[in-house]
Chain A
Amino acid sequence: MSTANPSVGHVSGSSVPPEAYVASLAGFRNMNVHRLGALLRHQSPQEAWQVALGQRPASGPIGKVLADSEVRSMWRRCADERPPAEIWARCVSLGLTVLPYGHDLYPAGLLDDPFPPPVLFARGNLALLAGRRVGIVGTRNATAAGRETARALGFGLAAAGVHIVSGLARGIDGYAHRGALAAEGTGRPIGIVASGHDVIYPREHRDLWEAAGNCGLLLTEAPPGVPPEPHRFPLRNRIIAALSEVVVVVESRERGGSLITAAQAVERDVTVMAVPGAIGKRASLGTNSLLCDGAAPVTGVDDVLTALALQHRHSAVIAADLRARPRGDDIALYRVVQQDPRTIDGVALAMGLTLVDSAMGLARLESAGWLAEADGWFECVGSPLR
């Protein structure tokens, strides 16, 4: 899927496609959206590359940048470190599609962005960007309640066929995507990350990273090999905002990165919604202030579906449940846990069963996938038993 598309620039006697030069330039130090945009605006990528190395005369803003001898020498060093052919080989081996601004497959939502990424690196199904998309973002330091909310929203929306755009960070982002993957509906995870495709961050989300690349879409502005530098995260957030139809902030502290996403969503006329939290709870300070500022509250999946103007009552795709239906007493046991999460003690008490019988029943339900256990508590998971 990562073949060169000759719609941009031209291949002039070189074996590497023009995208390779863009990919290399994007990894230069002190390169930013504006400079890269200016470099590529009126010349082919290869010409831009030569300009950056001082082999061609520079004009306009780039001329001013290159007047600085430090930048000149740094970019020359960067060019040695990141030869286009090598960067291109890495993109190919990672299975990436390189999308310079203006490419046929370049996301339409970013074309008229105030700061469009000059180049994007994509892995997975770009067609997902034509579907309905909701961004779910929030703090990395989420509370258990916040994590569950993110998971439930991801699950419900994905089951309704909505793709989940998120940043693959720890906490809320990760749980929203886990929920989306668990739904096994038509909604897919769309991950927007800040580092190169081969620099997985955070490392414990390797599985999510792979899942997004394989059955969803994984998108980044950073070429392969670029580490997750702090300044890249706010930039990543603008892509999340631009590619979402609605941005839902699940939990955020008073100065969280997700508030940046929300602000950028407002700039782009994207609806911002927030999950209300208890006042005084630190993880909800940011979301509550969004609500004060006029964001719509989210009390369930339906609120988001309504904001998308989707008919929520009929939207849920009922996938065939492959789990073995519980039998006999296990159904009653499931109903008890459905009311409230319980410990095995609680189940034994509520059902009047012995510990051993409760343990056996819970184990059957758990191995069939109806319940999940965490810290000694059993909770219902997946779509409820009908």
Chain B
Amino acid sequence: MLAAVRSATVFGVEGRPVTVEVHVSTGLPAFQIVGLPDEACRESRDRVRAAVLSSALVWPSCRVTVNLAPSNQRKGGSGLDLAIAIGFLAAHGQLPVAQIEGLGFVGELGLDGSLRHVTGVAPMVAAMGAVRPVVPVGNYREAWCVAGEGVRVANTLREVVDALNADAPWPQVPDGEFVDDEPPLPDLADVRGQQVARLGLEVAAAGGHHMLLVGPPGSGKTMLAQRIPGLLPLLEPDISLQATMVHSAAGVRLPAGGMVQRAPFRAPHHSSSMVALVGGGSTGLRPGEISLAHGGVLFLDELGEFAPSVLDGLRQPLEEGVIRLARARASAALPARFLLVAATNPCPCGGGGPGDCQCDEAARLRYVRRLSGPLLDRFDLRVGVTRPCVDDLLASGGGEPTAVVAARVTKARQRALDRIGMVNANIPASYLDALAPLHQEARASLRNQLERDRLTGRGYHRIRRVARTIADLMEGDELVLDEHVQMALNMRVRLSISSRERGA
């Protein structure tokens, strides 16, 4: 007897449809899985057999062969357990084969026959196409995000079998409004002083400009960075879906509402490996931190402490918004369009004002050289952060709250989107003259900077984009004024002693 059940596995952030074919025949009792299963997949033999027996169903003494088609692709994970069990029951005649038409099964089985949630359900359901997915209860919202109302859930294998045999109705899907259980984001009102850095956050959020915060320890770099997600608008529907897929595939907890709607904030530690950051792994190509930050913020604290090779790995995705991972057997493109925010000390001792630094020049240079030039070049904003002064810390009133700033950011973003359909950070250089025309004085200021070798050609374009964003935030007209350019120049701190001499 033969049965075929639809299911899926996940690779990268994409689901891949898998047809589970089960053949039950007479012969020496055996249970084999073929079709390139990985270790977790092969072990499903034991789980499935135990779950079937625990669910008061029959496991006969005959030869059971499972084929995972297409059989030339590697399959990983435990999500195929349920499909294998259902396929066996149908092939053995314990379930009517006709009943499994039009359904897709995803889920891991416990030895007691319970159904456990698995990672990557959203992309799997998307890959299965026009079928009604049957998923563990814990995966309901994810599946619902993709398949809508047709999703079936179950707590145990027995419940699935009963429903398919029409002995009992399908269990109720979890209902009711899903309250947003995410903790509130930190508010900008908590930040005292730091006028320039606050403006920097606002500009970064409004224009999508990558930002480097440079300042001594205790100056509040991390605190500032954590407040950027609150300034970003909710994700666009398509980005939200992509972000949900990535979170699902990586097994990161999704918000109770199912969809990732808030801009994600990821802050990997500086000991993170290249694979942890960009994604990879021998089976399945798990999405890395940069993909989890898709649509949101990737915050790298202590930028200089990251391995240089890891940082250089960020350059291509920064440019393209996609990370293309290739392995010997497979390749995948994972979305990775994020706002890069990084923080670093100005020197090993942490520095401070002029004359406070106790580092010698060689140590200082060595420290700054760790940040490769090409990466530093990608930060439109390099904002100096200083320790707040005592008056600021003791003052009673905080600064503007996040809500006020976020409203300005949203407006400025809209202006930019109306203008050319992208955030200002992505304006191609050739469009700058049309989209960010300079006032005469602003042009003179920039010319002066260029002539004094304090600005490179690339820096010049970056300053103009940032100035465009500042003008948008200040609701100026389409002309970029000198004051906008000056503010932009002030948010481009030059690092290192040598660059002070040579111009950066």
Contacts and interface: CB of A to CB of B under 8 A. Distances in A.
A141 interface: yes
Interface string B44-67: 000000000000000000000000
Contact of B199 (A139, A140, A148, A355): A355
A141 B354 contact: no
A356 B485 CA distance: 10
Contact of A374 (B359, B487, B500): B500
Nearest to A251: B360
B193 A345 contact: yes
Interface residues of B, number: 41
B486 A360 contact: yes
A151 to B, nearest CB: 12
A251 B101 CA distance: 84
Contact of B354 (A142, A341, A356): A341
B386 interface: yes
A80 B389 CA distance: 69
Contacts of A379: 354
A367 B448 contact: yes
A68 interface: no
Contacts of A283: 360
Given A341-B353, A375-B494, A376-B214, A143 B358 contact: yes
Interface in B355-406: 355-363, 383-384, 386, 389, 391-392
B493 A143 contact: no
B489 interface: yes
Given A345-B196, A349-B392, A375-B346, A141 B363 contact: yes
A322 interface: no
A156 interface: no
B482 interface: yes
A133 interface: no
B361 A171 contact: yes
A204 interface: yes
B362 A140 contact: yes
Interface in B188-205: 193-197, 199
Interface string A131-142: 000000001111
A305 B487 CA distance: 43
Contacts of A274: none
Given A142-B361, A355-B487, A348 B195 contact: yes
A374 B494 contact: yes
Contacts of B493: 375-376
B486 A356 contact: yes
Contacts of B193: 345, 349
Given A344-B490, A375-B495, A355 B196 contact: yes
Contact of B360 (A142, A341, A343): A142
B495 A148 contact: no
A340 B352 CA distance: 13
Contacts of A348: 195
Nearest to B495: A375
Q: How large is the interface on A (under 10, 10 to 19, 20 to 34, 35 or more residues)?
A: 35 or more
B361 to A, nearest CB: 6
Contacts of A9: none
Contacts of A143: 357-360
A357 to B, nearest CB: 8
B216 to A, nearest CB: 10
B486 A144 contact: no
Contacts of A141: 360-363
B112 interface: no
Contacts, number: 98
Nearest to A348: B195
A147 interface: yes
A377 B353 CA distance: 7
Contact of B355 (A144, A282, A346, A355): A144
Nearest to B193: A345
Contacts of A376: 214, 383-384, 386, 490, 493
Contact of A148 (B355, B363, B392): B355
Contacts of B494: 374-375
B440 interface: no
B354 A363 contact: no
A140 to B, nearest CB: 7
B483 interface: yes
Nearest to A356: B483
A281 interface: yes
Nearest to B346: A375
Which of B361, B363, B489 lies at the interface centre, i.e. has the most chain A CB atoms within 10 A of its CB?
B361
B501 interface: yes
B498 interface: yes
A282 B359 CA distance: 10
Nearest to B444: A367
Contact of A349 (B197, B214, B389, B495): B389
B283 interface: no
Interface in A323-378: 340-341, 343-346, 348-349, 355-356, 359-360, 362-363, 367, 374-377
A140 B490 contact: no
A281 B349 CA distance: 13
A145 interface: yes
A359 B357 CA distance: 25
A148 B353 CA distance: 13
A249 to B, nearest CB: 16
Contacts of B194: 345
B445 A345 contact: no
Contact of B445 (A204, A363, A377): A363
B196 A343 contact: yes
Contacts of A341: 353-355
Contacts of B486: 356, 359-360, 363
A105 to B, nearest CB: 33
Contacts of A363: 445, 486, 489
A345 B195 contact: yes
B10 to A, nearest CB: 46
Interface of A: 139-145, 147-148, 170-171, 204, 281-283, 340-341, 343-346, 348-349, 355-356, 359-360, 362-363, 367, 374-377, 379
Q: Shortest 10 CB-CB distances between A and B: which pairs?
A: A376-B384, A141-B360, A359-B486, A376-B493, A144-B357, A145-B355, A363-B486, A341-B354, A356-B483, A141-B362
Given A142-B361, A379-B354, 18 more contacts: A141-B360, A141-B362, A143-B358, A144-B359, A145-B355, A170-B361, A171-B361, A282-B360, A340-B353, A341-B355, A345-B196, A355-B199, A359-B483, A362-B490, A375-B214, A375-B493, A375-B495, A376-B214
14 contacts: A141-B363, A143-B359, A147-B361, A171-B361, A281-B358, A283-B360, A341-B354, A343-B386, A345-B386, A349-B195, A356-B486, A359-B486, A374-B500, A377-B354
Interface of B: 193-197, 199, 214, 346, 351, 353-363, 383-384, 386, 389, 391-392, 445, 448, 482-483, 486-487, 489-490, 493-495, 498, 500-502
